[in-house]
Amino acid sequence: MSETKEQRVLQFVLQNAIRGDPKSVIDNIDKYCSQREWAMNVGDQKGLILDNVLKESNPNTVLELGTYCGYSTVRIARLLKPGARFLTVEFNPAFAAVAKQIIEFAGLKDKVQVIEGNTQDIIPQLKKKYEVDKLDFVFVDHWKDKYLPDTQLLEKCGLLAKGSVVLADNVITPGAPEFLKYVRTCGRYDCTNYPSFLEYMDERDALEKAVFRG
Ligand SMILES: O=C(NC/C=C/[C@H]1O[C@@H](n2cnc(C(F)(F)F)c2)[C@H](O)[C@@H]1O)c1cc([N+](=O)[O-])cc(O)c1O
Ligand SMILES: [Mg+2]
């Protein structure tokens, strides 16, 4: 059966990273995707910003939209305090399968719940089915045209509270213009832009942090 790029990333990790060592998993995905095949991981430059914003937030409950291969999932899970809850939503079963193996190899299986499905179906279930009260930190990195509707859905479902951090990848490349305009002008968020570069490339990109005012 013909292998996919995501399966090749997984194989490289299994063969080169150290089991139970999240940083070696992160470094090996970055090595493979910068030297062999580009892939849409948040990468090490934006990843460092993600680490710092996450540490500042020190969250109890985290949601990620767009697991992909689990690169940012591992970056986030490795920094969470004991007992914190971390849910990540992935739409594509093949990507979810790769991500689960990468998360497990990193030794973080017990810290993360990978939920397969569509955000518009999963978000309304978070309170009752997944026993989430409020989200302290949301990392948004899925389809760019879903950033805005899903942020508004999080609001509608009462999942954001004063101080909830929404951190979005790719607000320059590929860009999420409607999302950016909304969070910066609707009056419900305090926004900060973190300029950086597109993963493994010289093109400019940025993360946007939108803190809910409650
Ligand atoms: O398109 C990009 N990312 C799209 C990322 C998409 C990922 O999010 C999943 N998803 C889709 N819907 C859901 C939900 F939430 F519905 F379940 C989850 C997709 O299956 C995929 O794994 C991208 C593109 C570039 N680039 O340079 O082109 C750079 C990047 O960093 C990027 O993130
Ligand atoms: Mg991205």
Q: What is the pLDDT of residue 9?
A: 98
| Mean pLDDT confidence for 67-76 | 98
- Whose alpha carbon is nearest atom 6 of ligand 1? 142
| Mean pLDDT confidence for 111-126 | 98
pLDDT bin (cut points 50, 70, 90) of residue 1 is low
Identify the helix (H) or strand (E) that includes residue 89. strand 85-90
Q: What is the pLDDT of residue 68?
A: 98
Condensed to tens digits (0 to 9), the pLDDT of residues 125-139 reads: 999 999 999 999 999
- Whose alpha carbon is nearest atom 26 of ligand 1? 174
As a whole number of angstroms, the distance between CA 92 and CA 156 comes to: 25
Which among 91, 147, 150 is the best mutation to test ligand 1's pocket, defined by most ligand atoms within 8 Å of the CB? Answer: 91
* Ligand 1 pocket member 90 (CB < 6 A): yes
Distance 67 CA to ligand 2 centre (A): 10
φ/ψ (deg, to 5) at 167: -110, 120
| Mean pLDDT confidence for 12-17 | 98
User: Token digits for 100?
Assistant: 């689960």
Condensed to tens digits (0 to 9), the pLDDT of residues 72-85 reads: 999 999 999 999 99
Q: What is the pLDDT of residue 23?
A: 98
2 has pLDDT over 90: no
As a whole number of angstroms, the distance between CA 143 and CA 134 comes to: 23
To the nearest whole percent, how much of the chain has pLDDT over 90?
A: 99
As a whole number of angstroms, the distance between CA 37 and CA 182 comes to: 34
* Ligand 1 pocket member 46 (CB < 6 A): no
Q: CA 192 → CA 84, 96, 180, 183, distances in Å?
A: 25, 31, 11, 10
Residue with structure tokens 């809910």? 212
For the chain, the average pLDDT equals 97
Condensed to tens digits (0 to 9), the pLDDT of residues 137-153 reads: 999 999 999 999 999 99
* Ligand 1 pocket member 142 (CB < 6 A): yes
Q: What is the pLDDT of residue 186?
A: 98
| Mean pLDDT confidence for 164-179 | 98
12 has pLDDT over 80: yes
Do residues 35 and 59 make contact, with C-beta atoms less than 8 angstroms apart?
no
**Amino acid symbol at 58:** N
Kindly give the number of the ligand 1 atom that is closest to the alpha carbon of 41: 31
